[in-house]
Amino acid sequence: MRTEIKNHFFDVIIIGSGVSGSVMAYELGKKGLNCLMLEAGEFFSRSNFPKKEIDGNSKLYWSGGAEFNQTANLALLRPKVVGGGSIVNQALLDRFDQNAWDDFKRNSGVNFFDQDKMSEWYQKAEQGVNQEVIPAEFRNKNAQIFADGFKANGFECAPLNRAQKNCRYSEGNDCIECLSGCKIDSKQSMLITYIKESLKQGLKLLSKFEVDQIEDKGDKVLVHGRHYKSQRKSFSCRKLVLAAGAIGNSKLLQNSNWKLPAIGHHFYTHPQFMVLGEFKEDILAHKGPFQAMKSADAGFRKKGFKLENVFAPPVGLSMLFKGFGHEHMQLMKRIKKMACIEVAVRDTQPGKISFKKGKLKIIKTLNEEDKKRRNAGIEAIEKIFSSQGAVAIHQGNLPIGLHLMGGCRIGQDDRNSVVNPEFQLHNSKNIFVADSSIFPSAPGINPSLTIMALSKKAAQGMVL
């Protein structure tokens, strides 16, 4: 009995095991702190990641696959699994450009939002995971159409840099299978990098534990929640790290009656619109490293969008199309002839997350500027497909949001921000946040690497 008492009070509890939570756990554990990580999702590893799309959707995401905004025209994909977004993403690692940092700085007044000042943290973040550029010889036809179409239209594109380690394409591995977790431990997810190392350092990890309330008592922070379907339990700690993402953090703070007016505001998602180009010949976009190229066009950046070389598995594709019945079945049979590019909008219209009486309500719409950006992107995609001889173009019916950012934005003023430049909640020095929820605006660039860099910085500054 006696020897266990030390464990009852944690130095730090980390809520969420995604990119931010994992990096923080690692850095804090390295300092010798006794950490507990609480994750609502299940624990999977390479040998038991879901193999069927049905389970990949229902077991790795909140609400059985997708959540919707209030107007039901944006599907929000919010991972719920040990490792968070790093389990289901495509492991794209990009640094923010000066434009994104300037925008961040303007919207927050935070001084270190600067390419030079963040460079040290980016370097540290990049050291933690292995990166590879997809070799040109393994590009599939979808990627080829992307590259050729860009060239034909004078757009700039570049091969993709991904956090992976030997996908063994020559053996016929198709990365699309790893959207529900990489079965060969190539994708450098948090699970096999920072979480693995943290567990070795002594991190306590509790999966299937959903936190629903937190309280700062001054000398300690209490964390209340439920382990799977059992009784409500509580933990206490000296410092708390919120790393449950934009929606998770906002929901938790609102449910805990946190008194900061900006909680849940300034929510961005980089709304993504997939467009399929149908060709006469087979494209087989699902083969190999299905995402190999990225747009690197300064004009696109200026106009506020980027194009991505993407594809989706069958259920995901079926949801893209309008219609049902025979019309639908005919389309599905022609999937093999389809290439796909999506436009990701750097959204300017802030959304709002609210959680009242146990119900999540997300308002997220597109303003005229956002629509203009989307339309410009779609126009570019149409040009690309046409230049490559597409016979038809099918615009996706269901936009998705999977870069969930904001809701607890960082800033100087507690009237319009939630987190201070030291990554603490304005009204609680014991609670730290460094995940994408602190983003003050939409950067228009994949957030993963920046979350890692910010988390490294936040962990370093944390003093018990």
Partner 1 sequence: MISTHFSKLQLRGLNRLGDVVIPGDHDFPSFSSLKLDDHVDRILDHMNDDDRSGLKIVMSLFAFLPKFFIFFILWITEKAEGESFLASQLRLVNTGLKGVIFTLYYSNLNSKSEIIHQVMEWDANINDYPDEGDEMQQYTDEALSGESQKYFDTIMDAHKIREISRNAEPKLRSLSIDSRLRYISRLKEVILNKREMIIDRIQADNGKSRTDALVSEIFGVLDHLAWLEKYAAKALADEKVPTPVSLLGKSSKIYYEPMGTVLIISPWNYPFYQAIVPITASFVAGNAVIYKPSEVTPLTGLIEELLQAADFQPSWVQVAYGEGKMGADLIDQRPDKIFFTGSVATGKKIMAQASQYLIPVELELGGKDPSIVFEDANLERAVRGVLWGALTCTGQSCTSVEQVYVHESIYDKFKKMLLGEVSKIRQGTDSNGEGEIGRMTAHSQTKIVAEHLQDALDKGASLLFGDSWDRETDLIPPLVLENLQKNMLMVQEETFGPIVPLQKFSSEQELIDELNESKYGLSASIWSADKQRCDRVSRALKTGNVSINNVMLTEGNHNLPFGGVKDSGIGRYKGVHGLRAFCHSKSVLIDGNSSKCEVNWFPYTEKKYKSFDKMMVSLFSGGIGNFVKFALTGVGLESYSDKIAKK
Residues 243-282 interacting with partner 1 (rule: CB under 8 A): 282
Q: What is the Cα–Cα distance from 359 to 172, expressed in whole angstroms? A: 45
Q: What is the Cα–Cα distance from 172 to 186, expressed in whole angstroms? A: 14
Q: Which of 213, 180, 199 is nearest to 80 (CA)?
A: 180
| 415 and 435 Cβ atoms separated by less than 8 Å | no
Residue 275 buriedness (CB in 10 A; 0-12 / 13-18 / 19+): buried
Q: Is 174 in the site for partner 1 (CB under 8 A)?
A: yes
Whichever of 77 and 458 has its CB closer to partner 1, that residue is: 77
In the complex, least distance from residue 172 CB atom to partner 1, rounded to whole angstroms:
7
31, 204, 226, 238: which one binds partner 1 (CB under 8 A): 204
Q: Is 178 in the site for partner 1 (CB under 8 A)?
A: yes
In the complex, least distance from residue 139 CB atom to partner 1, rounded to whole angstroms:
16
In the complex, least distance from residue 153 CB atom to partner 1, rounded to whole angstroms:
29
98, 119, 234, 412: which one binds partner 1 (CB under 8 A): 234
**DSSP assignment of 142-198:** HHHHHHHHHHHTT--EEEPEE--S---GGGT--GGGGGG--TTS-S--TIIIIIHHH
13, 40, 145, 284: which one binds partner 1 (CB under 8 A): 284
Q: Is 130 in the site for partner 1 (CB under 8 A)?
A: no
| 284 and 141 Cβ atoms separated by less than 8 Å | yes
Whichever of 74 and 380 has its CB closer to partner 1, that residue is: 74
Q: How many residues bind partner 1 (CB under 8 A)?
A: 82
Contact set for partner 1, span 37-76 (CB under 8 A): 42-43, 45-48, 52-55, 57-59, 63-66, 68, 70-73, 75
Q: Is 149 in the site for partner 1 (CB under 8 A)?
A: no
Contact set for partner 1, span 323-352 (CB under 8 A): 323-326, 328-329, 332-333, 335-336
In the complex, least distance from residue 454 CB atom to partner 1, rounded to whole angstroms:
26
In the complex, least distance from residue 452 CB atom to partner 1, rounded to whole angstroms:
20
Q: Is 376 in the site for partner 1 (CB under 8 A)?
A: no
Contact set for partner 1, span 84-123 (CB under 8 A): none
259, 322, 361, 371: which one binds partner 1 (CB under 8 A): 322
Do the bridges between strand 35-38 and strand 204-206 make them parallel or antiparallel, or are there none, so unpaired?
parallel
CA dihedral 289, 181, 296, 305 (to 10 degrees): 130
SS3 category, 457: helix
Report DSSP state, residue 89.
Answer: S
| 408 and 419 Cβ atoms separated by less than 8 Å | yes
